Amino acid sequence: MAKKNAGDILTSDWNPVIGCERYSAGCRSCWYLDGIFPWQQRLGNIPPGVQPNQHHVFPSRLTEESLKGKNGIVGIVQHGDLFWDAVPDQIIFRILEIAEKVAGAKRKVPKYMLWTKRAERMARILNTRYPHGLPNWLAVAVSVENQAAASDRLPYLAGIRGTRIIMLEPLLESVSISRFLPVEWVVVGSETGESPRPIDRAWVASIRDETKAREIPFFIKQLGTSHKVQDRSLDGRTWDEFPVGFEK
């Protein structure tokens, strides 16, 4: 799915657990709660009794076998937020254990990406699990939508040693990230879905300038209000830069 869309940064995703509840301003048009969950439940892939804001584990997916066939850049738990309070620590540690075994058995180092708004919990768990820094197959992304979220969450990202990504999506106002750099990648995207709040290209240009001043790869996912229409151009070009070792 992801491979066909030039604006998507992932090759595929792995969702052994699902679930989340709205957390901040960026959650208003949640892709998972409003789109993926009802669609997957209609298809019968999620049991009928499970609610969208309920943590649910798929035992058949919480296995090495289920992750093994996924290559490239793999998003771990895209259907929800792995660091939501309702997800027990032992499930998170189990997911990391499976990812470590599968990554270690591959000839080419994969890139497994954790992606959250709950940066404090992610940092606490990862710094416990990897006190000497993240392994080379693991990357971590923190999403922020406005300056307050950036100031609140990005210091926790800065406290993790390893491949770190700032994800500004949906970008809802002008945000400066310069004091949280360097990181290994900066990605920007607009809001899509029901009644999207439009992005201002000047906000994006300013983030790009802060990012490129530090020679950090910069990627634009989309700038329009519909993910069905490719609108990714800024100042006459697309921004499709990936960090070294990331191959979609």
Give the nearest distance from C-beta 23 to ligand SF4 in angstroms. 5
Applying CB under 6 A, which of residues 27, 46, 98, 207 lies at the interface with ligand SF4?
27
Q: Is 115 in the site for ligand SF4 (CB under 6 A)?
A: no
Q: Is 122 in the site for ligand SF4 (CB under 6 A)?
A: no
Q: Is 227 in the site for ligand SF4 (CB under 6 A)?
A: no
Q: Is 32 in the site for ligand SF4 (CB under 6 A)?
A: yes
Phi, psi of 128 (to 5 degrees): -75, -45
Is residue 17 within 8 A of residue 56, CB to CB? The reply is yes
Q: Is 141 in the site for ligand SF4 (CB under 6 A)?
A: no
Q: Is 217 in the site for ligand SF4 (CB under 6 A)?
A: no
Phi, psi of 121 (to 5 degrees): -70, -40
Applying CB under 6 A, which of residues 20, 158, 172, 186 lies at the interface with ligand SF4?
20
Applying CB under 6 A, which of residues 2, 13, 23, 234 lies at the interface with ligand SF4?
23
Q: Six-digit token pair at 159?
A: 């406290």
Judged by beta carbon, residue 32 or residue 185, the one nearer ligand SF4 is 32
User: Angle of helix 119-129 relative to helix 89-105, nearest 10 degrees?
Assistant: 60
Judged by beta carbon, residue 81 or residue 184, the one nearer ligand SF4 is 81
Q: Lay out the site mask for ligand SF4 across 67-96 (x = CB under 6 A, - = otherwise).
A: -------------xx---------------
Give the nearest distance from C-beta 169 to ligand SF4 in angstroms. 9
DSSP 240: B
Q: Is 117 in the site for ligand SF4 (CB under 6 A)?
A: yes
DSSP states along 12-73 = EEE-SEEB----SGGGTT-HIIIIIHHHHHHTTSS-TT--TTS-EE-TTTSSHHHHHT--SE
Applying CB under 6 A, which of residues 30, 99, 168, 223 lies at the interface with ligand SF4?
30
Is residue 207 within 8 A of residue 191, CB to CB? The reply is no
State how far the Cα of 75 lies from the Cα of 139, in Å rounded to an integer: 10
Is residue 125 within 8 A of residue 92, CB to CB? The reply is yes
State how far the Cα of 241 lies from the Cα of 44, in Å rounded to an integer: 37
Q: Is 33 in the site for ligand SF4 (CB under 6 A)?
A: yes
Judged by beta carbon, residue 22 or residue 179, the one nearer ligand SF4 is 22
Q: Which residues are at the interface with ligand SF4 (CB under 6 A)?
A: 20, 22-23, 27, 30, 32-33, 80-81, 117
